[in-house]
Amino acid sequence: MFGLGVLPSLICEFSKLYPDIQVELVLSENPADLSNDHIDIDFRIAPPVEAGIKRRMLFRSDRYLVVSPAYFIGRNPPTSPEELKLHRCVAYSMPGSGYSWRFRKDNVETEVSFQPSHVSNNGIALLEFARMGEGIVLLDDYTVHKDLLSRRLVRLLPEYQVTNSSFEDGMYATIIDSLPIPTKIRLFLDFVASRVSGSELRFSAYESTM
């Protein structure tokens, strides 16, 4: 969602400031192999674990459980994580054999496994499933910010932190660890960071494109 919802508008703005620097945007749900794929910068939500990679955290985001109000016609909203098993849940496709969401409240963590009604490896598709009332979806805060403000979607169990991977996830810019950093890479990284490093900045950056 960051690559499709935020980066295009930032690239357009950056190109006006630096018309001699051409930016090619390559979208994928998988982490890039910077060296073999000849990628200068990879934006990803999990901290990199590869050797020879330098990272820069742009922001730490939360994930929200969201749903269309229409979904609850004839249904009662869940009041605890365990009650999610009684509902239709839409999941992001993850490696492994099962699906689960992890919850944290007052430093106590619980994990709830479920059988999803729909599965996709694309955040835009998950957002559309939520908007259509197909079930409960876990998405990044900046992805659903505008829908929550307009009440097209509502947030569930806001007293919990929720994730399908790690509570340390955020948005990381990763580059090959080499010195000096090429000027064009440094300029673009600094520009993106200046536009998204605060919550209000990244929310407004996303809203400008959706």
**Closest C-alpha to 89, from 138, 160, 51, 52:** 138
Query: Could you report the per-residue pLDDT of 23-35, keeping only the tens digit for each?
Result: 999 988 777 889 8
Helices and strands, counts by H and E, the chain: 6, 11
Residue 193 has which token pair? 């960071």
Answering whether pTM is above 0.95, one says no
Among 5-9, 19-23, 118-122, the range scoring the smallest mean pLDDT is: 5-9
Query: Could you report the per-residue pLDDT of 21-75, keeping only the tens digit for each?
Result: 999 999 887 778 898 889 999 998 877 777 888 988 888 888 999 999 999 999 9
Q: Are strands 154-156 and 89-92 parallel, antiparallel or unpaired?
A: unpaired
- Residue 99: strand pairing partners: 114
Task: Determine the pLDDT at residue 23.
Answer: 97
Contacts of 151 (CB under 8 A, 6+ apart): 69
Q: What are the respective helix, strand and coil percentages of the chain, to the nearest 5?
A: 30, 25, 45
**Which percentage of the chain shows pLDDT scores above 70?**
93
**Closest C-alpha to 162, from 96, 78, 86:** 78
C-alpha span between 171 and 99 (Å, rounded)? 23
Domains, the chain, ranges and CATH? 2-60+169-207 (3.40.190.10), 63-163 (3.40.190.290)
